[in-house]
Each structure stands twice: as C-alpha cells, then as structure tokens.
Amino acid sequence: MYAIIDIETTGGNPYRDKITEVAIFIHDGERVVKEFQTLINPERRIPHFITRMTGISDEMVAQAPKFYEVAKTIVEITENTVFVAHNASFDYNFIKSEFHKLGYFYKRESLCTVKLSRKIFPGKRSYSLGKLCQELDITIKNRHRAMGDALATVKLFELIRKYSPQGFFMEIAGKQLVNNPVNPSITKQIIENLPQKTGIYYFLNEQNEIIYIGKSKDIRQRVLSHLSNVRTKKALEMVQKITDIQYEVTGSELIALLRESEEIKHHNPFYNRQQKRTLYNYGLYSYSDQNGYLCLKLAKINNGTIAHTSFSCMEKGKDFLFRLTEKYNLCQNLTGLYATSSACFQYAVDICKGACIGRESPEDYNIRVELALEFAGFEKENMIVLDPGRTEKESAFIIIEKGQYLGYGFVTKDQPLENADDFKIYMTPAVDNRDARQIISGFLRNKRTGKRITY
C-alpha cells in the first residue's frame, strides 16, 4: 500500500514553518482506495507571498483543525504504507517535524517520484511537478493546492509503475526481502514468521542474550524499519549482532507498552540502555499548605515519591496543568502557575472562587483538586480496563485497585465474568511503578482504551 501525499506550508523550513493543508491518497498499486484532505490551522499568520502562490489565506484556515486534531487520522490512514510524494523529503520532513512537536516519532518508508521519474523518464527538461506533468500530458487542477498536486502525483505514480521494469517498485520499497546484506543471519524466513500484529519483540545475539526490546502495532513492519535504518554506528552494530528475533503478541497497545517497559527493566538490554530516554523527567505533585488548601506543583521526578502523573519536559507539564486548572476551575496561585502574595488574576475576572485569599473554604476547594488529581492519574479508582485481545474472540484487560496497577491478562469474550475476582484468575501480576502509571494514565486520559468496569 502507498500513501501518496502532498502538503502546503507557510514556508520552506520544517523546523520553523507549519503545514496549512494536507491531502493523502491511499493507493493499493492498482487504484486509489481511500483519500483524506483538510486545511490545517497553522496557528500563525500565512505570509502574503504564500497566499498569492497557493490561494490559502488566514481567513480560510481560521476555523480549520489544528495539526494535533488530525494527527491520529494521519497516523492511522498511513499505517503500513509507503510514503510517496514529489520531492518526498520536503513533505516527509514537514510531517515528521509536526509529529515531533507533539512528542511522537513518525516513521514510514518513503519513495520520491522525482527520483523515480529521473530513472523511468530520463532526459526531461525539468522534473518539477508542473513541468514534468506538462511533458507527460498529466493535467493538474488547482496547482499549488494539496488536493490538486497530490492527485497529479497519483497519476504520475501510476505512469511510473506502468513503464517501470518488472519488480522495480518491489525492490525500491523493500517489499521483497532476501537475506539481509548487513547480517545474513536474518533470513527471509525469520521475517516472514513475524506477525503483523501489536505486541513486543526481542532481538537476541549469538549467546542467546536479549540485546534489544521494542513495541509496535505491527511487529514485522517495525523490525523491517530497524533493519533498513542503519544510518548510525550503534544501529549498524546492533543489527549485525542479531541472530534471532522473538516476539509476544498482545493485541492491546496499552499492554504492549506496559510489557515493553516491564521487560526492559527486567532484562536491561544493552541497546535499550544506550538510548537516552527523556521520558518522565517532571512530575505533578500535591501538598497541603498551612491553611489546609491542596496545592499542586510541577517538579523534577523524585524517585522516592510517585507523582500523580509525569511529563517529558516542564513545558508539557505546564500545558497540562493549565488545562487541568481551567477544567476544574482551580486557582492558578495554588497550582503554582502564577505565584502572587494577593488575589490571582483569575479572581479579578470571576474565574477563581477566591481560594488564594481565603474567600473559598479549603474543604470546598479541595473537592475540585481531588477530582482534578483523579483525572490526572487513577489514585482512588478500582477498575478493570478492557482492550482488544490477541484474536477476534479475545479481550485483553488490566486491573487497577486502590490506585495501584495489579496486572494484565486475556479472556475469551464468551467467558461469564461477573466481578474482579473472576478476572484475577486470569491475571498475570505486574509491578506497579512510575512508568506503568504514566502509560496507563495517559491512555485513560486520552480515552485510548476500550470498556472500563469500576468496582
């Protein structure tokens, strides 16, 4: 499958500029089977010369979704596809940069129709999309708009496939796997035995030691990306040492993340240790002040204390705390966002109820703080969280009891399970720690799990 993509932007620098429009055509090699298009609010002004070229103005994108609002759709629609674009590095780097700003690593195999055109149609005067399409009698409607340019790229892509030698695309896209030239021990059979399912995978060396553990929604695709991404000395070194690849299907992405975290801590693989993990450096903590008000604060993680939730950086923590303060009508003075010795600004505009100056009682104020903390984590909840299982007939589950993560398991959907004790029969115990809580609370907050049963 191929995701043929075009974007429009506010400029040419993926680290400074932003996307204003995206169009995606999913192509199965024969025809387009799915499409997605939307304007994007770049959250900044569009330069006049860009508006003159594309026709996209500030007014047009004012009510359009922001990138983070369509990010999940882009991930899902391009899952297990090859990223195809004209001058692919431009589009791919912009999309990767947008995801990077959201804290997500977006990676796809890519094909560039400029490079492919040079091989299949040599000797053309120009390989820019407009001029090349003109020479090849491909009509472009709405030039310099994502939908028009992407559709033209689809037609160019189909023309390249039509005139390309047999097997050309399979070779370029890496879809025909022979023994890996970097490491002949990784055979075609090893790769074909890997499932295209959610779970965790293990790289083992000649001594049968686990040297790396990873998680993926598509184990085979992720392993292939490791084998093809040997641009650094460490990556090459790791691939050369692999003699076997094992895996564990979980079905549930939540359980895959929990198992990955647990297994890395247990086995301490060499190449996981080499990664400079920056997750969970800052935590959200609570304490009571001298007047009995529950206060919140962001601080560096203290290994002796479990935070309500944690963040990769202070900026992300502040962003979450601002939203939490607004959602539960908390005082920004008592959440550490704006420290003052008098009434906070929100009190002056009738948002804060006056906890900062004693106008609202600690008892009333603390009720909302506790609700906010329950939203941030899962301190007081007893629940069973259900998720997709390893097969269609199965459900995965985790159990949280008295604010602690107890473990995970799998049950068939036709089993008569009435209470937590019934689920515990099938539960594999797990270690409750900061990382596990962060993973679970993130899934619960963002509603990325299935049914929840409280008890």
Confidence of residue 209 (pLDDT cuts 50, 70, 90): very high
For the chain, the first-to-last Cα distance in angstroms comes to 44
Looking at residue 387, what is its pLDDT?
94
The residue among 439, 355, 348, 357 whose CA lies nearest residue 400 is 439
Do 33 and 60 touch, CB atoms closer than 8 A? no
Looking at residue 141, what is its pLDDT?
87
418 vs 328: CA distance, rounded Å: 34
**Chain centre to alpha carbon of residue 384:** 24
Instruction: Give 150-187 pLDDT, tens digit per residue.
Output: 999 999 998 888 887 655 555 554 433 344 556 777 88
Q: What percent of the chain has pLDDT over 90?
A: 43
Exposure b/e, 3-16, CB count within 10 A at least 16 = b? bbbbbbbbeeebee
Q: Which whole number is the average pLDDT over 189-214?
A: 92
Confidence of residue 240 (pLDDT cuts 50, 70, 90): confident
